[in-house]
Structure 1
Amino acid sequence: MPYLLVTTHTPIEAGPTYVGDYDSDVDLIELLQAEPSHPFGVVGYSVYCSSFAPQIVLNILEKDGWKIVGTAGTSQACIWTLHR
């Protein structure tokens, strides 16, 4: 079952938006124009970062057949779980 985590820091209107990790589908990463990023400073672990705002990323993913199945938030981040 393919799941995808999409995260962003507040304020959520701006971006960047983190999409997937080192094991994500290459075509999906290209669709979102995401680049590798190492936000946690952990050597050997990377996520992909899109400069698009979260709303744009979520709209692109919906057109590609993804559906939001869960959301979570803290005072500093918002997380969406999507499934296709």
Structure 2
Amino acid sequence: ATVLETGPTMVGDEYSDPSIMNYLGARKTTMLGNNFSEYHVDEPPRLVLDKLDKMGFRVVSMTGVGQTLVWCLHKETSDAL
């Protein structure tokens, strides 16, 4: 049998842009014992990536770490030096 992850999806840390986290519908949580916060959504990664694509973000790389998948995204800015 194939098991597919359906969420929650970790989408940011305590330094993430609040407007992007709001757009994704993310909630900020601090796990017991951690001295940092993370943003999570209930949607699977595919839906999160679709939302970020609509904002202009593009996947730069993707890798697996154990049973965790990590995507690195980038968005071009008009005020780049």
TM (norm. structure 2) is 0.80
More relative contact order in 1 or in 2 (CA 8 Å, sep 6+)? 1
The aligned amino acid for 2:8 is P
Q: 2:21 aligns with which of 13, 29, 42?
A: 29
User: Whose Rg is larger?
Assistant: 2
Q: Distance in 1 between matches of 2:47 and 2:24?
A: 9
Q: What is the aligned length?
A: 73
Which structure 1 residue ranges, 4+ long, deviate > 4 Å from structure 2?
none
CA RMSD after TM alignment? 1.6
User: Can you give the 5+ residue segments of structure 2 that lack an aligned partner in the other structure?
Assistant: 76-81
If each structure's strand is expressed as a fraction of its own residues, which one has the higher value? 1
User: Can you give the 5+ residue segments of structure 1 that lack an aligned partner in the other structure?
Assistant: 1-10
